[in-house]
Structure 1
């Protein structure tokens, strides 16, 4: 397994998070890939100085956004299963084994999405997120209450099938379903941010989210009649 941690300006949070991940419930062997997405606060230096075993560091000179950071990590991953954890410390690594379990149990599942039971955000952000989720579910029928949670587990080969674009991490359930994969959900707890600051505001999420939503709706309507995942499963069974 490969644990991919996208991080931007998370110097104070990243090393404590890495210690939690390494001491967490996932049995070895696994690797941890930190993708420093253009940080200017010394995040990469903190990871290097920690010199922790099984931790690899990738660094973007300029920030490309979370989806590009996740993609870079999964492309570099050596594991068949990739697990994503946000670098700000709000995702609790104690749920990692729960996320991986459905993938091991059912080969037809391509993605397991964490669903936060409680969010530590301001009221305006919560309301905006709730409305956006309702609109997304109505248009895409992805049967997922919370697509923005950073805790996810996925088959690497399934991830490589989905279309890539900026912010596609917000549409993983719909994109995996488009390729014929089943989706599973796991309830997880969100933690308060103890350092740094959020990289997203309510308005900027809305401005990029609406065109992306329309684009994914179009992709779902233009999906092939025979999903690629069906061929992958048949080859596996032979």
Structure 2
């Protein structure tokens, strides 16, 4: 696989005005050494602060930046799904806008992707969250892996690389973003994991409470378990219109 395939970065944004310019700068620096074209798709998920104005300013100064604006807050899964459908390029990179994901890790994920994987998942070995979030995440990962039948160290890490054609076929539902590796495996995706840097949040506040996230995750697990048991995967070998032979 050529290492020059262009990238679409998909980044949900919800009240992250102070993080957007540093994030853009760090992404630009990280991708500067790569022989790839790219676009940065910022999906505004109904921000209430000055995030949208900052995004428009970035788009005016950098042709790589695209801005998608929701009418109202719809959640991270909806923002990712909208970005997947809008992506112009065959490889999608996902990450958060809060600067806890490190753009400097993107080349490392791409290197592994180029070895023939359909998805590469970041693994935050040294998390910079408060202890209750770290514990809650470990418990959620263990339950999620047990019920979905897929072992992934850190399904909650938003820093991922995936094949765009497969991402666009993912079922869309609230909480989808928590199960991206499992949903990709339903399409027979080849997965890999790599350790990535994780940074403490410096600006803004987390949009999720620990209890809220745990309850939502458990509820979603039931649906994903059902989907996994009922999923139909097919590919068309031939499609011949009548009268063309």
Residue of structure 1 aligned with 2:14, choices 8, 18, 27: 8
Please report the TM-score for the alignment, with normalisation by the length of structure 1. Answer: 0.91
Please report the TM-score for the alignment, with normalisation by the length of structure 2. Answer: 0.88
- CA root-mean-square deviation: 1.6
Residue of structure 1 aligned with 2:228, choices 210, 220, 224: 220
Per the TM alignment, residue 102 of structure 1 is displaced from its structure 2 partner at its CA by 2.8
Query: Is 1:77 the equivalent of 2:50?
Result: no
**How many residues get paired?**
228
Q: Distance between the aligned counterparts of 1:219 and 1:111, measured in 2?
A: 20
Larger CA Rg, structure 1 vs 2: 2
Q: The residue matched to 2:204 in structure 1 has which SS?
A: coil
Residue of structure 1 aligned with 2:110, choices 83, 100, 103: 100
Q: Which residue of 2 aligns with 1:66?
A: 76
Q: Which residue of 2 aligns with 1:90?
A: 100
Instruction: Provide Cα deviations, 1:2-50, integer angstroms capped at 9, x if missing partner.
Output: 0111110000001110111111144331111111111011101012223
Q: Distance between the aligned counterparts of 2:218 and 2:153, measured in 1?
A: 17
Q: The residue matched to 1:23 in structure 2 has which SS?
A: helix
Equivalence map 1:16-165=2 (5 Å):
16-25=22-31, 26-50=34-58, 51-106=61-116, 109-165=117-173
Query: Is 1:211 the equivalent of 2:245?
Result: no
Deviates more, 1:80-89 or 1:158-167: 158-167
Q: The residue matched to 2:114 in structure 1 has which SS?
A: helix
Instruction: Provide Cα deviations, 1:187-211, integer angstroms capped at 9, x if missing partner.
Output: 1010111100000111111221112
Per the TM alignment, residue 104 of structure 1 is displaced from its structure 2 partner at its CA by 2.2
Per the TM alignment, residue 101 of structure 1 is displaced from its structure 2 partner at its CA by 2.3
